[in-house]
């Protein structure tokens, strides 16, 4: 009688991968990556008014909140151990114009919420985006002149907006508009205003993606957008170009880099981390969130399991943290475990 083990050749017999997978304890011993609450950044949407929590239809479970309610949310996040939040304002339509001038109001909605959260919840980090899209009547991230998003004029304006955000208490400025030269310019502007300790998290590789759809509903820019953002965001086909763009941001003084969207771009996360060894983040954007939620609501996937798996995969791809709308839900699950 032939011994059954001989059906597998000798080499394979010496290298059985399953030996380390055989029990829960072996699996825990060899686990390479772990997700913790320290990996989470929670993006929140802010609206004007008082005591309103307004659900976003395309993002089940995500709300727009007035400043007072955003402060409560920030407190809850801090209590859960979430290190930082990222704020996105839904600016009233009558305040939006061609150049996004409301971004230059010291007391605009984004600065109001920063000030309020800083005061009430001083131990949570606040990350603010300086792109102009919440403020423009055309939904573009920069100033539109004719058919062109003008680079240098936009950079000048976001530098001023960045200083105001830092004045209001923002800890990290996160420019998402992909204009050339912005990181160096923001660094100089912050330093000149005495904000040496305010950091810059560059949306270094932001792709022209369809995954931003629900976000545009959240801040009401969807119907406004004329054309698309392909003249400033990166083509999803291009990996090497993204690394080159990230290299410029590192040179210009970015403290952290971000990849956006997240899951479809894990190769970019990995390449950035390998190339620069700089703190690297991914933004699991609105459309990624919605995909998981929608499938889970239909009973087609196990939503909680898929949520946790996606976030762990960012860690495996070299990310130091993830901006995710799942943050409070995940933090609660991690606290339970």
Judged by CB under 6 A, which of 202, 286, 290, 324 binds ligand PBG?
A: 286
Distance in Å, CB of 270 to ligand PBG, minimum: 21
Taking CB under 6 A as the criterion, the residue among 64, 69, 187, 229 binding ligand PBG is: 229
For ligand PBG, which is the closer residue by CB, 54 or 68?
Answer: 54
Which of these is catalytic: 22, 119, 260, 293? 260
Q: Which stretch binds ligand PBG (CB under 6 A): 63-71, 127-135, 293-301, 304-312?
A: 127-135
Closer of 68 and 160 to ligand PBG (Cβ): 160
**Which one of 42, 207, 212, 314 is in contact with ligand PBG (CB under 6 A)?**
212
Q: What is the dihedral of CA 245, 211, 262, 255, to 10 degrees?
A: 50
Output DSSP code: residue 197. Answer: T
Q: Tokens 């423009």 — which residue?
A: 136
CB of 24 to ligand PBG, least distance (A): 35
Buried b (16+ CB within 10 A) or exposed e, 201-224: bbbbbbbbbebbbbbbbbbbbeeb
How far is Cα 188 from Cα 195, in angstroms, rounded to an integer?
A: 10
Q: What is the largest CA-CA distance in the chain?
A: 86
Can residue 39 be called a binding residue for ligand PBG (CB under 6 A)?
Answer: no
Site for ligand PBG contains 310 (CB under 6 A): no
Rounded to a whole number of angstroms, the minimum distance from the CB of residue 232 to ligand PBG is 10
103 binds ligand PBG (CB under 6 A): no
**Which of residues 84, 166, 190, 285 is near ligand PBG by CB under 6 A?**
285
Task: Tally the residues of the chain.
Answer: 337
Judged by phi (left if over 0) then psi (alpha if -120 to 50, else beta), residue 161 lies in: alpha
Closest CA relative to residue 321, chosen from 329, 330, 311: 311
Among 91, 113, 131, 331, binds ligand PBG (CB under 6 A): 131
Q: What element of type H or E holds 63?
A: strand 63-66
311 DSSP 8-state letter: H
Q: Is position 206 annotated as part of the catalytic site?
A: yes
Contact between 249 and ligand PBG (CB under 6 A)?
A: no
Instruction: Give how many residues touch ligand PBG by CB under 6 A.
Output: 12
HEC readout, 3-25: CHHHHCCHHHHHCCHHHHHCCHH
Catalytic residue at 315?
no
- Closer residue to ligand PBG in complex, CB, 68/220: 220
44: nearest Cα among 282, 249, 236, 328: 328
The structure tokens listed for 333 are 């699950």
Based on the shown chain and the rule CB under 6 A, indicate whether residue 129 belongs to the binding site for ligand PBG.
yes
Q: Is 215 in the site for ligand PBG (CB under 6 A)?
A: yes
**Is residue 168 a contact residue for ligand PBG (CB under 6 A)?**
no
Q: Which of 75, 118, 160, 216 binds ligand PBG (CB under 6 A)?
A: 216
CA atoms of 84 and 66, how far apart (whole Å): 18
Q: Which one of 4, 119, 206, 226 is the catalytic residue? A: 206
Residue 142 in the binding site for ligand PBG (CB under 6 A)? no
What is the closest distance, in whole angstroms, from the C-beta atom of residue 285 to ligand PBG in the complex?
3
State the alpha helices, DSSP H only, in 109-192.
109-120, 151-168, 182-192
Is 118 a residue that touches ligand PBG (CB under 6 A)?
Answer: no
Pairing verdict, β 63-66 and 148-150: unpaired
Q: Return residues touching ligand PBG (CB under 6 A).
A: 129, 131, 133, 141, 176-177, 212, 215-216, 229, 285-286
Q: Which residues have a catalytic role annotated?
A: 206, 260
């Amino acid at each position: 009688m032939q011994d059954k083990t001989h059906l597998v050749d000798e080499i394979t017999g010496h290298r059985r991968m399953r030996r380390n997978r055989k029990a829960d304890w072996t699996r825990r011993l060899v686990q390479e990556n772990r997700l913790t609450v320290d990996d989470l950044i929670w993006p929140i949407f802010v609206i004007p008014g008082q005591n309103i929590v307004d659900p976003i239809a395309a993002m089940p479970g995500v709300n727009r909140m007035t400043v007072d309610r955003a402060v409560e949310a920030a407190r809850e996040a801090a209590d859960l151990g979430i290190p930082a939040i990222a704020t996105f304002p839904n600016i009233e339509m009558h305040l939006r114009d061609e150049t996004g001038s409301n971004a230059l109001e010291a007391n605009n909605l984004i600065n109001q919420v920063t000030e309020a959260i800083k005061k009430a919840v001083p131990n949570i980090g606040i990350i603010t985006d300086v792109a102009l899209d919440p403020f423009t009547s055309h939904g573009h991230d920069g100033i539109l002149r004719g058919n062109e998003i003008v680079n240098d004029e936009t950079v000048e304006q976001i530098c001023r907006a960045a200083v105001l955000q830092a004045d209001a208490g923002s800890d990290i400025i996160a420019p998402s508009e992909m204009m050339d030269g912005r990181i160096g310019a923001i660094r100089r502007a912050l330093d000149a205003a005495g904000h040496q300790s305010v950091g810059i998290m560059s949306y270094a590789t932001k792709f022209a993606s369809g995954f931003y759809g629900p976000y545009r509903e959240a801040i009401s820019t969807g119907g406004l957008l004329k054309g698309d953002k392909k003249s400033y965001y990166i083509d999803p086909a291009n990996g090497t170009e993204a690394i080159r763009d990230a290299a410029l941001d590192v040179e210009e003084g970015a403290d952290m880099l971000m990849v956006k969207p997240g899951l479809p771009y894990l190769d970019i996360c990995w390449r950035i981390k390998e190339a620069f060894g700089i703190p690297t983040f991914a933004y699991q954007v609105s459309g990624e969130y919605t995909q998981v939620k929608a499938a889970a609501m239909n009973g087609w996937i196990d939503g909680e399991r898929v949520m946790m798996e996606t976030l762990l995969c960012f860690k495996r791809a070299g990310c130091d943290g993830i901006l995710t709308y799942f943050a409070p839900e995940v933090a609660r699950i991690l606290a339970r475990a």
